[in-house]
Amino acid sequence: MHPSYSQVFYGLPLLCELVEGLLLWRLVGQDEITRYPYLGAYICYDLVRTPSLLAVAYVGPRGFPLVYGITNVPALLLQFCILWEVARSLFRPNSPLRQMAWKGFLVAQTLMVVAVIFVSWSQASLVRFPASSAAAGFEQYSSLSQAVLLFLVAAFARYYGISFGRNMRGLIFSLGPYLLLNSVSFATYQIFGALRRYLELLPATAYTGMIAVWLYSFWQYAPSPEQASLSPISKQQWNDLWETTLNLVRHKSS
């Protein structure tokens, strides 16, 4: 590995870790982590996952693809949860629009997950190492489907004249382009194989830029008008429901 490439390979994730740490600090400080729990869970997971992957890449590079593939599954699932975070934040609770968005989201997500698994495994069966190819294909098509679903939710909201607010605007228009770039990058690896090691830096660079946009967007709590209109009673009802769920789980486990 060329020294300059090695510095960038390790430097970008470390820079991203720093920005994510600042973002988590702001989410906690502004009490946004309770308003955007899936986003907070994703940031916390990535803060743990990134140094683990760097340690594996440094100590045992041969095991890196396997560890990356295994740890990538929860990350992709949390990304799907962030998409629901967007829909949940844009539409007023108990409104017909939110019900329509929720039902459409569930149907689209289910179909997309089934299609992604089928296409990934069908593509992997044609190569020498099907497991590695299936993991790469799953990430590629998951990123593409998530980007499409995210922009569909945003287009649905704009069609009905719903404003995004600073928080959701930054989330949508940074996560969407990153997911598209991450999906397209897999195709460029096949076309420009000789430049793969440098092309692999593009998603990492875009991801760091996305986290930086999140830091700017969530520096202050600036929700969509629909979310800002939540009354204290609605928030209290949400907290009561959460407490009831926890008590039920404790009762069943005991």
3-state SS track over 201-229: HHHHHHHHHHHHHHHHHCCCCCCCHHHHC
Give how far Cα 109 sits from Cα of 97, 100, 101, 113, Å: 18, 14, 12, 6
pLDDT of 173 over the 90 cut:
yes
Instruction: Assign 19 a pLDDT band (cuts: 50, 70, 90).
Output: very high
Q: What is the pLDDT of residues 57-101, one digit of tens each?
A: 888 778 887 888 889 889 988 998 898 888 888 877 666 766 676
SS3 annotation, 236-250: HHHHHHHHHHHHHHH
Q: Which of 125, 121, 155, 170 is nearest to 141 (CA)?
A: 121
Domains of the chain, each with CATH number or no CATH: 3-223 (1.20.1070)
The answer for 94, left when phi > 0, alpha when psi is -120 to 50, beta otherwise, is left
Its pTM surpasses 0.75? yes
Q: What is the pLDDT of residues 106-144, one digit of tens each?
A: 666 677 666 666 665 565 544 444 445 566 777 778 888
108's CB contacts (< 8 A; 6+ apart) are: 149, 152
